[in-house]
Amino acid sequence: MAVDTITSKSYITHHLQNLVYGKLPAGFDRDGQILEEATWTFAHSPEEVLEMGFWSFNVDSLGWSFFLGAIFSYFFYRVARNVSKGAPSGFSNLVEMIVEFVDNSVKDIFHSENKLIAPMALTVFVWVFLMNTMDLVPVDWLPVLAQKLAGDPHFYFKVVPTTDPNITFGLSLTVFAMILYYSIKMKGVGGFLSELTLHPFSSKNTVVQILFIPANFLLEFVGLIAKPVSLALRLFGNLYAGEMIFILIALLPFWIQWTLHLPWAIFHILIVLLQAFIFMILVIVYMDMAHQKDH
């Protein structure tokens, strides 16, 4: 998209808008034409996205998420198939370093027995890192390429899945479901409910303890719900802010862009890696808490 043909506001809005596929209702006025029946189509504007409602799909975020997940699965699978007893080299060495790093993190934090935690932590770390890394691609390269392939100069195309709260909440809610599952599995329904109602305030007096239940439940329930919310919003907020800065830099004259873009990109590498690491560590911590019977 040529910056000099549009306003700064429309440029920013365009880059922050997803490619959305959804259903427009019958009677909707679309580009001066009234739809005679409900139609599944790609949104042409933010207003159409709102009209499509909940049952719509951010095609670009989903596409890049699956694509990057497939890349991760393919290359790690190939390394695992070709592993040998000798010293690894090249990409195999990098994969072994990542696996060893994640495995040590799990051993240091997770104190129960569950063979699923290490693979889950590895998947979370690498997948989130790959999605975050898309933020380092110049903001106009892939969107302009998508516009040319689609033949539409106004084609929406976001390439950083973690700047979409639907993706970050999808990840965090999946982790949250596993937290609930293992909390109930390890502690039983009664133990899980006791954890929500008998802490942090307790008393040996039964009547007083019963009076504490509403306050305990409120505090513990808020703490429980805060886990997926904090996971999702922390990742989304940091990557969204980073993407916004790249977009603002792209609005500047060309000779200034590279002066600011390079140092911010170098600094952003740390953010990309750090956010993936934090997400992984929190997942391990939350799963450890879910497995603690005396928690």
| Residues involved in catalysis | 230, 234, 238
CA distance 136 to 145: 16
- Give the count of alpha carbons within 13 A of 198, CB side only: 13
State how far Cα 55 lies from the chain centre. 19
Tokens linked to 42: 């790609």
Residue with tokens 């898309």: 134
188 φψ region: left (φ > 0), alpha (ψ -120 to 50), beta (else): left
Contact (CB, 8 A) for 146 and 157: yes
- Write the single-letter amino acid at 150: A
Q: What φ, ψ does residue 66 adopt, rounded to 5°?
A: -65, -40
Rg over CA atoms, the chain? 24
State how far Cα 248 lies from the chain centre. 23
Q: Return the DSSP state at 21.
A: E
- Write the single-letter amino acid at 221: F
Burial class (CB in 10 A: 0-12, 13-18, 19+), 127: buried
Q: What φ, ψ does residue 244 adopt, rounded to 5°?
A: -60, -40
Say how many Å lie between the first and final Cα of the chain, rounded: 54
Contact (CB, 8 A) for 217 and 197: yes
